[in-house]
């Protein structure tokens, strides 16, 4: 995980989740990145895990001693990048907003 990731370091910038928060979640007995996500909101932000997914798996592996393959990866959701609500709308629905 890196000797620089102290407890007060942010692992998820989108949702302001610190390394300490992830360690606390692991302390309740949950065992994977998606359970950590449900508990701490780590990985729920606009970046869809681009920042936190790799460090999260490595952190859980380091803390539990399990291999990263066993730990698994964060599940991500679409949209891969934020999309404006109006991008989904046909022009006749919001005529004054079409480009």
Q: How does DSSP assign 11-36, residue by residue?
A: EETTTTEEHHHHHHHHHTT--SHHHH
User: Which residues lie closer than 8 Å to 38 by C-beta, 6 or more apart?
Assistant: none
Q: In the set 24, 27, 42, 55, which binds other proteins (CB under 8 A)?
A: 55
Is there binding between residue 1 and other proteins (CB under 8 A)? Answer: yes
| CA dihedral sign, ordered 89, 91, 97, 99 | positive
Binding status of residue 64 toward other proteins by CB under 8 A: no
Question: What residues numbered 68-87 form the site for other proteins, per CB under 8 A?
Answer: 68-69, 72-87
Least Å from the CB of residue 26 to other proteins: 14
Is residue 19 at the binding interface for other proteins, with CB under 8 A as the rule?
yes
Q: How far is CA 44 from CA 15, 36, 47, 66, 97, in A?
A: 7, 11, 8, 24, 29
Which residues bind to other proteins, rule: CB under 8 A? 1-6, 8-11, 13, 19, 28-29, 35, 38-39, 44-46, 48-52, 54-55, 57-58, 67-69, 72-91, 93-94, 97-99
């Amino acid at each position: 995980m890196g000797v620089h990731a102290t407890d007060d370091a942010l692992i998820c910038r989108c949702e302001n989740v610190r390394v300490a928060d992830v360690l606390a979640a692991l302390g309740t007995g949950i065992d994977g990145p998606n359970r950590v996500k449900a508990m701490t909101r780590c990985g729920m932000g606009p970046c869809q895990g681009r920042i936190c997914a790799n460090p999260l798996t490595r952190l859980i592996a380091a803390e539990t001693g399990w291999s990263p393959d066993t730990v698994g990866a964060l599940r991500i959701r679409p949209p891969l990048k934020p999309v404006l609500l109006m991008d989904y709308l046909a022009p006749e629905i919001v005529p004054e907003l079409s480009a």
